[in-house]
Amino acid sequence: MPTKGTAGNRQNLPEKEPDSKRTGPVVSMIATPIGNLGDLTGRALQALRGADELWCEDARHTRQLLNALGIEEKRLRRLDQHSREQEIHGMLREAAERRQWIGVVTDAGTPGLSDPGAALVRLLPDFPEIRLEPLPGPSALSALISVGGFEGSSFLFQGFFPRGEKEALALLDQADQTRITRNLVFFESPHRIRATLKLLESWCLRNGRAPDFVFAKELTKIHETVRRGTGPAFLKTFQEQLLDERGEWVFSVILPKDDVKNELVEAGWDAALQCLLDAGVSAKNAAQIVSSRFSVAKNLAYKRALESQKKSQKDSKDH
């Protein structure tokens, strides 16, 4: 945490950038509100007003923001996922020649995070005369992290959750095995959130894992939603309660520590399974009952039942 500045130690005090610093062509990456207009920073407002042009994903969306701020007659140019590299290169060349101040905005949040702004930044080295500056501010990513309760300081942001089931399961398996970090963060569209919840539930059941999950949407808005829970049971309940799928989601998967399995799995359904076996219920039927009551994969419960029976038979022979 930064220390408070004193008369003899002023290097920690925030500095105000003098207007004279902007003497040549500049590209400002401007973070805009993700829902609450009050989150717009003073620097962002200054840039929105002062930039010669604003490059944006959706001109209609950006125009609404400008109207709310009382900013009129601002030239807007499209920069979205359909913008070709050659087109972006031409826009930058024009900005350099005209020594323009360009503001880059996404529909909401910080440009460059899973949006076309990153493509522009990668082309900027071709124009060393253009200065690139970040104007930090609202971001769904940082907003989620602030309420995520992550242990440790590391996290892995993967952008949008993989569309393909095979790719998604491989990513989760790799993250669980390598343990580069326990904290994974993803974006997800409103049209895919239900399928993603089902896939995550399936992965948990298949692997006997119970990560913590934090799901959020409409952050900073009136209908802000933040849901936190653990394991496949939470995911199943969440699916049943998910009535309104509107609004993009940001969510985290917080993997259990090292080899720690689902405590509910070990202490809950494992004990119930053993009670059923001790009462004479067959391994197959016991697995079926436990699977339906504890949201655990039937094949995993059946495997555990067989292991328990073999152990009991061995103990009987030893005695």
pLDDT tens, residue by residue, 166-210: 999 999 998 888 878 889 999 999 999 999 999 999 999 888 888
Q: What CATH number is given for 141-254 in this structure?
A: 3.30.950.10
State the Cα–Cα distance between residues 88 and 79, nearest whole angstrom. 8
Any bridge partners for residue 102, and if so which?
27, 53
Q: Using alpha carbons, select from 92, 153, 141, 143 the residue that is nearest to residue 115.
A: 141
State the Cα–Cα distance between residues 49 and 143, nearest whole angstrom. 26
pLDDT in tens, 69-115: 999 989 999 998 888 999 999 999 999 999 999 999 999 899 988 77
Q: Using alpha carbons, select from 139, 144, 141 the residue that is nearest to residue 158.
A: 141
CA separation, residue 263 to residues 167, 239, 266 (Å)? 28, 22, 5
Domain locations along the chain: 23-138, 141-254, 263-310
Question: What single DSSP character describes residue 262?
Answer: P
Homologous superfamily (CATH) for 23-138: Tetrapyrrole methylase, N-terminal domain (3.40.1010.10)
Indicate if 141-254 has the same CATH topology as 23-138.
no
Rg (CA), the chain: 26
Burial 54-75 (b: 16+ CB within 10 A, else e): bbbbeeeebbebbeeeebeeee
CA atoms within 13 A on the CB side of 137: 28
Any bridge partners for residue 188, and if so which?
249
Q: Which residue ranges of the chain lie beneath pLDDT 70? A: 1-22, 258-268, 293-296, 315-319
pTM of the predicted structure, to 2 decimals? 0.72
Identify whether the C-beta of residue 225 lies closer than 8 Å to the C-beta of residue 216. yes
State the CB neighbour count (10 A cutoff) for residue 230: 17
